[in-house]
Amino acid sequence: MSRLQLLILWILALGAGFYYFNSKDVPDSISNKTELEVGSQIVPSDLIETVDSLTVISGDDKASLKKIDGRWVVSEKGDFPANYDSINQIIGALREAKVAQSVVATDEYYDRFNLDPATEEDGEQPDTILLEKDGKESSTIFLGKTRESTGGSGGRAGRFVRLSNDESGVYVVQESFSFLNASPDNWINKSLTLLKEGVVKMEVTAPNDESFKSWTVSRESVRDDFIVEGLGDKEETKNTETAALKNLLAGATFTELITSDDYKKRANEKAARQLKATDSTGTTFSITVTPEKKTEETEEKKEDGANPTPAPAVDYFVSIEILNGPTKPEPIGPDASVQEKAVYAERVNNLADVSTGVNRMRKTHEGRYFLVSEATIGSLNKNRGELIQPKKEEKKPVSVATPPIRVPSPGDKAVNTPPLPGINTPPPSIARPKETQNKPKIEAVTPPIQVPPIPNKPKGEETTPEPVEPAKSEKDSPAE
């Protein structure tokens, strides 16, 4: 190899190196000069299991989660309970995030991986997960851009991450964290399960709506149907309408937490409904349901009868107050059934747990406004007339009794008896002609036949009985 050729090779090598460090493409080579080796967890297991504060930042959104008395809450929502499925999802992703590839890179190359939190370019900032323990920052994970697959399928091959306490380089993990969202509304538990124990009495009123007629329904136990109280003599409960009240707010959800200022601007308090409900544990709730004010768009569509587009549905605001309860169950009598005794024992044993749950519910729900859909509480808008119907008259059973019919004997005379209405009359008996009634009856009498005894014969000899002439009847004898 000549000196010229060697010089050309050196120039090409230097050019390739310069292109390597300035290229936007990500190198595929694996380096062992980073602090974490391939297969290592990016977050230590002991930290994941003991972390008590977690902050997610994405763009301008920020969600701060922390543990209070063993429960995860969202700080931006007044310490409202967090959704445990979302908490478990991010904790599980951090637990499974392991180094699939390491790349040696200093801070001047972080922007190439979208891992520079100081950049001011929109869409180039990394997502950030901050983990704290005992009030101290323990680890910060920066999530950069996703790594394109080199297999030719066009898929994703992981995501670039950087650790705040590791300046040796960046890492590729298989976890994409595509579910990550930093909006606080997406982290709260949107369950509004209040009457989960089963409601036994409901009183619905409308303090500011004179056109609404109040109503009350009740039942003995959660297994029974609701009965409208105060029914008239000619009224009865329409069970098809009251059946929907059995599961009211038993598994409801809300769409958004509303501030008090926002509630005052948007609520139509003149059409509010007041529900006083008592469940099977003796806990009494006072629930106010207020419709949202109709927007100008809603009114325009209502006045424009030619417009076939339906008006948007109106949402409702729900506020809750727990008046009392739970109460200790009343003792049962000695003649109670086995099932009644089992229910009583269960209520006594669970009274402490139910009381804890009610107190927690009081702390969580009181003083807040929840936005729910009309389908969630639509049954509370029913007027009393929709829950009752005219009483059905009990019809007396019609007795259809058929008098006994005497079957005439051959010697009976025909009797002209008028037929009973609605009953098929049997045909009359047929009388014999008069000329045949006085004739003597012809009878065939066969006299007894005497069979002669069989004489004793020596063995071997056959005995042939004498033929017997059949007796003649009077019918066969010649007429005298």
Does the pLDDT value for residue 457 go beyond 80? no
3-state SS assignment for residue 342: helix
> What is the rounded distance in angstroms from the CA atom of residue 391 to the CA atom of residue 151?
75
pLDDT value of position 467 = 53
pLDDT value of position 341 = 87
The pTM score is: 0.69
pLDDT value of position 284 = 95
Q: Which helix (H) or strand (E) holds 65?
A: strand 61-68
pLDDT value of position 58 = 93
Tell which wins on pLDDT, 142 or 468: 142
Min mean pLDDT across 192-201, 407-416, 425-434 is at 425-434
Does the pLDDT value for residue 370 go beyond 80? yes
Angle between helices 351-365 and 338-349 (to 10 degrees): 50
Summarize pLDDT for 401-410 with one digit per residue, the tens.
Answer: 666 677 666 6
Burial classification of residue 308, based on how many CB atoms lie within 10 Å of its CB (0-12 exposed, 13-18 middle, 19 or more buried): exposed
In sequence order, the β-bridge partners of residue 143 are 127, 161
Percent of the chain with pLDDT over 70: 71
Give alpha helix (H) positions in 23-58: 45-50
Summarize pLDDT for 388-426 with one digit per residue, the tens.
Answer: 999 887 776 666 666 667 766 666 655 555 555 555 555
Min mean pLDDT across 212-226, 296-310, 322-336, 390-404 is at 296-310
Q: Are 86 and 56 in contact (CB under 8 A)?
A: no
Average pLDDT, the chain: 81
Q: Which long-range contacts (CB under 8 A, 24 or more apart) does 332-338 make?
A: none
Summarize pLDDT for 25-49 with one digit per residue, the tens.
Answer: 444 444 458 899 999 999 999 999 9
Residues 6+ away with beta carbon under 8 Å from 226: 202, 217, 218, 219, 237, 239, 242, 243, 245, 246
Instruction: Give whichever of 16-25, 209-218, 404-413, 469-478 has the largest mean pLDDT.
Output: 209-218
Q: What angle do CA 147, 149, 154 make, to 5 degrees?
A: 115
